[in-house]
Amino acid sequence: MEKNKPVICVFCGSSHGAKPQYAAAARTLGGLIAERGFSLVYGGGGVGLMGETARAVRTGGGTVTGIIPQFLRRIEQPPEWEKDLIVTPDLQLRKTRMLEMSDAFVLLPGGAGTMDEFFEVVTSASLGVLPKPVLLVNIEGYFAPLDTLMKHIVAEGFARPAIFSYYKVVDTPEAALDAVAESLSTLAHG
């Protein structure tokens, strides 16, 4: 991974989901990551939205680093072309490495693993140990129920309203990377 490029970690599904718009968004995001000069860190799989994103970054000439637990290599099938593959003993170390290596986090639709990653980064940010931007790309309204859940958590007194300052919901991959660039610029000059 090139040290001078900001690193975007993309959390997303290892499947394609029910709507073709999800894969299209993954390809768009990957292409934009490469075009805008970012590097990608992701879950290391060659399948689903993970694979779509990584292939698009690579096709666009970008840098890709995958991080995958040993036990998932057979299931998530890392791409044969992936040179920078980090293999970890478990999921927790995978997340730890992804958080350490990344400057920002962009989430596309995904399942329980993606939600786990969302809660990990938002909790870490709210505790002050991970002051990095977190963007949810709300393709076809996918993250609206999660945002509603977060509002419910606050309304029920289990989180402070400040939790909303640790993530942002956007509608497009372009808006996500615009917000990342703005946040990184603010952090660099703040």
First to last CA, the chain: 26
The proportion of the chain whose per-residue pLDDT surpasses 90, expressed as a percent, equals 85
pLDDT score for 188 = 67
More confident residue, 80 or 39: 39
pLDDT score of 187 more than 90: no
| 18 class by beta-carbon count within 10 Å (0-12 exposed, 13-18 middle, 19+ buried) | exposed
pLDDT score for 101 = 96
Determine the Cα–Cα distance for residues 79 and 43; give it in Å rounded to an integer.
11
Determine the Cα–Cα distance for residues 180 and 175; give it in Å rounded to an integer.
9
* Exposure string over 41-61, b if 16+ CB within 10 A, otherwise e: bbbbbbbbbbbbbbbbbbeee
Q: What mean pLDDT, rounded, does the chain reach?
A: 94
Q: Count of CB atoms within 10 A of residue 111's CB?
A: 13
- State the average pLDDT over residues 21-32: 99
pLDDT score of 10 more than 90: yes
The proportion of the chain whose per-residue pLDDT surpasses 70, expressed as a percent, equals 96
pLDDT band at 3 (very low <50, low <70, confident <90, very high): low
Q: What is the pLDDT of residues 149-167, one digit of tens each?
A: 999 999 999 999 999 999 9
pLDDT score for 190 = 58
3-state secondary structure the chain: CCCCCCEEEEECCCCCCCCHHHHHHHHHHHHHHHHCCCEEEECCCCCHHHHHHHHHHHHCCCCEEEEEEHHHHHHHCCCCCCCEEEEECCHHHHHHHHHHHCCEEEECCCCHHHHHHHHHHHHHHHCCCCCCCEEEECHHHCCHHHHHHHHHHHHCCCCCHHHHHHCEEECCHHHHHHHHHHHHHHHHHC
Q: What is the pLDDT of residues 45-87, one digit of tens each?
A: 999 999 999 999 999 999 999 999 999 888 777 777 767 899 9
Domains in the chain with CATH codes: 7-189 (3.40.50.450)
Least confident window among 107-111, 155-159, 180-184:
180-184
pLDDT score for 4 = 78
Q: Is the pTM of this model over 0.85?
A: yes
- State the average pLDDT over residues 131-148: 97
